[in-house]
């Protein structure tokens, strides 16, 4: 297991560069809607609870939660995505603007609705979730618009995060353009993957799958509780298969594992979370913190160390959450 740490001076040398850094986020954005209340009775219509809603709140979800995480760290996020010409899209755009997000590359679709996930929560317990969205790949017009937007914006960023939620924006044709362009420019490219697209991520800098996703990518059955040796063997198979510089494998309560392709170094970083209240959005925090650190001078281990501590903060909150620099530095130094 990795027992290294990072000196405060190095941490601050990394985080001090955040304010001058722009990172592009490409992917599926969505509006997270929460209906809060109490269960008052069982419905006479069906054996389901009736929740008396007394508050409705909205948060940035999907790739837009990556935007929020970057913004919270002081990074300037540049978003390339597609939303619908609807009220939810207008609300999402306004919320993104509040998070210092460059919205010039946010494309509007006449046929695709803005993705909305509605969660009904009673006394801190999620009762049900309702999704309103399209998961179809981009149509010809949408693909043209988002490709043009990407090409115009990519010349002014230091790194790219592909946040693939499988909702159609990160379709094969667009993904191929993004990866080829970034490789030609020598840009750092991180991917939060979706299982059905694994073969298309070949040649990116780093991907951040969980165990289930990694085993699926290799086409082998998931081992319920693999040993460190089994994880190590599986991880390097994935590095080789996708020609990755790095693999950051998230291991839930066991923390995460970093695989370095060129040196064949394997580091297990145990979880630093004191309590786990909600893992919603934790993957967004990991990829945001790792990419921010990596493009601002961190070594692969240092970036993983920072990402691991950022995730430890996030999972202690209900719903999607983001991390600010000073609490992150304090946590890293504890």
Nearest to 31 by CA among 106, 122, 117, 127: 117
Contact (Cβ atoms closer than 8 angstroms) between residue 100 and residue 48: no
Angstrom distances, CA of residue 331 to CA of 12, 96, 272, 306: 13, 27, 9, 9
Nearest to 203 by CA among 147, 165, 160: 160
Contact (Cβ atoms closer than 8 angstroms) between residue 296 and residue 15: yes
In whole angstroms, what is the distance from residue 277 CA to residue 268 CA? Answer: 23
| Cβ-Cβ contacts under 8 Å for 198 (sequence gap 6 or more) | 213, 216, 217, 242
Is-catalytic flag, 240?
A: no
From the candidates 28, 164, 192, 284, which is the catalytic residue? 284
Q: How many CA atoms lie within 13 A of 302 on its CB side?
A: 19
In whole angstroms, what is the distance from residue 325 CA to residue 289 CA? Answer: 10
The residues annotated with a catalytic role in the active site are 284
């Amino acid at each position: 297991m990795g027992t290294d740490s990072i000196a405060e001076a190095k941490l601050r040398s990394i985080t001090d560069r955040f304010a001058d850094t722009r990172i592009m986020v490409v992917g599926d954005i969505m509006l997270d809607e929460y209906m809060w209340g109490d269960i008052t009775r069982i419905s006479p219509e069906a054996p389901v609870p009736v929740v008396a809603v007394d508050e409705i709140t909205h948060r940035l979800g999907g790739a837009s939660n990556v935007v929020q995480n970057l913004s919270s760290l002081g990074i300037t996020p540049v978003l390339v995505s597609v939303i619908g010409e609807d009220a939810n899209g207008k609300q999402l755009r306004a919320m993104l603007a509040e998070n210092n997000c460059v919205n010039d590359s946010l494309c509007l679709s006449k046929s695709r609705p803005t993705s909305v996930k509605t969660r009904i929560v009673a006394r801190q317990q999620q009762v049900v979730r309702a999704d309103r969205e399209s998961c179809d790949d981009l149509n010809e017009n949408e693909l043209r618009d988002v490709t043009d937007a990407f090409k115009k914006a990519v010349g002014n960023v230091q790194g790219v995060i592909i946040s693939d939620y499988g909702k159609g924006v990160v379709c094969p044709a667009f993904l191929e353009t993004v990866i080829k362009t970034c490789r030609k420019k020598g840009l750092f490219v991180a991917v939060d993957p979706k299982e059905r697209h694994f073969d298309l991520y070949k040649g990116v800098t780093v991907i951040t799958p969980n165990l289930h996703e990694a085993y699926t990518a290799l086409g082998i059955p998931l081992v319920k509780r693999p040993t460190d040796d089994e994880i190590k063997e599986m991880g390097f198979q994935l590095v080789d298969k996708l020609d990755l510089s790095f693999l950051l494998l998230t291991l839930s309560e066991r923390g995460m594992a970093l695989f370095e392709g060129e040196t064949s170094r394997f580091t297990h970083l145990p979880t630093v979370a004191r309590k786990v209240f909600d893992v919603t959005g934790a993957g967004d925090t990991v990829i945001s913190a790792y990419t921010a650190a990596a493009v601002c001078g961190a070594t692969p281990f240092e970036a993983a160390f920072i990402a691991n501590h950022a995730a430890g903060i996030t999972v202690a909150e209900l719903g999607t959450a983001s991390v600010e620099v000073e609490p992150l530095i304090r946590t890293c130094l504890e």
